[in-house]
Amino acid sequence: MSTESRDARPIQPAALHILLALGRGERHGYALIGDVDALSDGSIKLGPGTLYGTIKRLLADGLIEEAEERPDPDLDDQRRRYYRLTASGAAAATAELDRLASLVRRGRAAFTPAPNQA
């Protein structure tokens, strides 16, 4: 999928939080669950189905990729898969953050009385 078409679509909250977590570095699934919980102040709780379904879509869209390098086998479970953000993923996350910032500005303006209405 091209970055242009990906950037035009809003990103679902779970996917955006995963992209943001991966912006901090490579993570495995269980670590992503904790990172998303922390990033969202507990408002987004990823279950395994949501997590791995979202990861599958992000992989298919080229926004993340599976990391080839593995931690020391003595320090980690070999069954874990690690993921990292791609350049397209960083661009899509940035575009979504810009879209949300614009929405917040317009939303606040809609609820701020005009100077002559105060």
Task: Summarize pLDDT for 22-50 with one digit per residue, the tens.
Answer: 999 999 998 999 999 999 999 999 999 99
DSSP state of 25: S
With CA atoms as reference, report the closest residue to 64 among 22, 31, 29, 94.
22
Reply yes or no on whether the pLDDT at 11 is more than 80. Answer: yes
pTM across the whole model:
0.82
**Given 1.50.10.20, 1.10.10.10, 3.40.50.1970, 1.10.8.640, which CATH number is that of 3-117?**
1.10.10.10
- Are the CB atoms for 20 and 32 separated by under 8 Å? no
Confidence label for 70 from pLDDT (cuts 50, 70 and 90): low
Q: What's the pLDDT tens digit per position in 72-116?
A: 555 566 678 899 999 999 999 999 999 999 999 999 999 988 777
CA nearest to 18, candidates 43, 40, 2: 40
Domain segments of the chain: what residues?
3-117
Which parts of 4-118 are beta strand (E)? 27-28, 64-66, 82-85
